[in-house]
Amino acid sequence: MKRFVLLDTAPIPNNGGALCLFEYGDDFVIKLEGGKGGQLMNTRMHGSEDALAELPCKQIAARPAARVLIGGLGMGFTLASALKNLGPDAEVQVAELVSGVIEWNRGALGAKAGHPLADPRAQVLNRDVAQILRDEPQGYDAIILDVDNGPEGLTHSANSWLYSQDGLSTCAKALRPGGLLAVWSASADRPFAQRLAKAGFKADEVQVYAHGNRGAKHTIWIGQLK
């Protein structure tokens, strides 16, 4: 019988909590310490993470030296999908606040996504994505937010700023003309869609399966600057 085996614990900066990496049979699972919120992610279900990067990156792949920022490394599947759908001259930066998550992806966990951190086009930054957005006006062709649980911060309360009106306006300023913003969420959120429009995005809401073509669905917003 499969059981959860705790492999490591990584503190969340300025939060007081921690993320826990478990092995579960042939899979890996990340949970919040104390069990709040159940499983945050696992290596068996990553269909919506794949789609999160595929949808915007396919649209900008032909741009010369396309530059992409991903907020949240997670289990590496969003990064792997971005690299798969971009050209050889692209650059993908990944902002990951929890240093332990970066180390997990450089170890055995990384094999599940094909070790995307080893790709020379990828650069991982142990920084808050909010600060990077503020520091890079018109710096990116696409911004992909795979941070937390969507428009409501779960693991880190400060993440909620990203989905606020101010945060979305900052994303718009960090994009080049015609740039795209892709946002993952566990569920639909009408007020968030309204904030996207107010920040200057023409947004489409896409429902994608979490795993293959069945079961639970997650929401992806694709917003293009008007």
- Strand order of the sheet with strand 201-211? 122-125, 91-95, 67-71, 140-145, 175-185, 214-225, 201-211
Please give the pLDDT value at position 35.
66
- Under 8 Å between Cβ of 212 and 165: no
220's enclosing H/E stretch is strand 214-225
CA separation (Å) from 22 to 8, 13, 122, 161? 7, 20, 26, 29
User: Looking at the domain covering 44-225, what would its CATH class be?
Assistant: alpha beta
The string of pLDDT tens digits covering residues 46-61 is 998 999 999 999 999 9
Q: How far apart are the first and last CA of the chain?
A: 53
What pLDDT band is residue 26 in, cutting at 50, 70 and 90?
Answer: very high
The string of pLDDT tens digits covering residues 181-203 is 999 887 777 888 899 999 999 99
Q: Count other Cβ atoms within 10 Å, centred on residue 192.
A: 20
Please give the pLDDT value at position 169.
96
- Quickly tell me which residue has 């566990």 as its tokens: 186
As a whole number, mean pLDDT of residues 62-89 equals 97
Tokens at 187, concatenated: 């569920």
Q: Show me where the domains of the chain are located.
A: 44-225
Is the pLDDT confidence value at 158 over 70?
A: no
The string of pLDDT tens digits covering residues 101-128 is 999 999 999 999 999 999 999 999 999 9
Return the SS3 of 84: helix
